[in-house]
Amino acid sequence: RDGRFEVTPNVSFTLLDEYQRTIMPGLRFQYHFFDWLGLGVWGGYGFQYTTGLADQLQEKAVDARACTANPSSKECRLTQINLSRGSLADDQFAKLQWAVSPELHFIPFRGKIALFSALFVDTDVNIFLGPAIVGLQERAECGQDSDGARLANTCASAASFALESRVTVAPTFGLGLNFYPTSIFGFGAEYRAMPFEWNTSGFDNAGGDPDGEFPDTFVNSDDRQFKFNSLISVNFIFRFPDLETSE
Residue 209 has what pLDDT?
Answer: 83
Q: Say what the pLDDT of residue 168 is.
A: 97
Hey, what amino acid is at 7? V
Distance CA 80, CA 153 (A): 13
Distance CA 132, CA 44 (A): 11
CB of 133 within 8 A of CB of 98?
no
Kindly tell me the burial class for residue 148, based on how many C-beta atoms sit within 10 Å of its own C-beta (0-12, 13-18, 19 or more): exposed
pLDDT lower than 50: segments of the chain: 243-244, 246-247
Cα of 138 vs its chain's centroid, Å: 13
Residue 243's pLDDT is what?
46
What's the pLDDT score for residue 131?
A: 97
Q: What are phi and psi of 140, to 5 degrees?
A: -65, 150
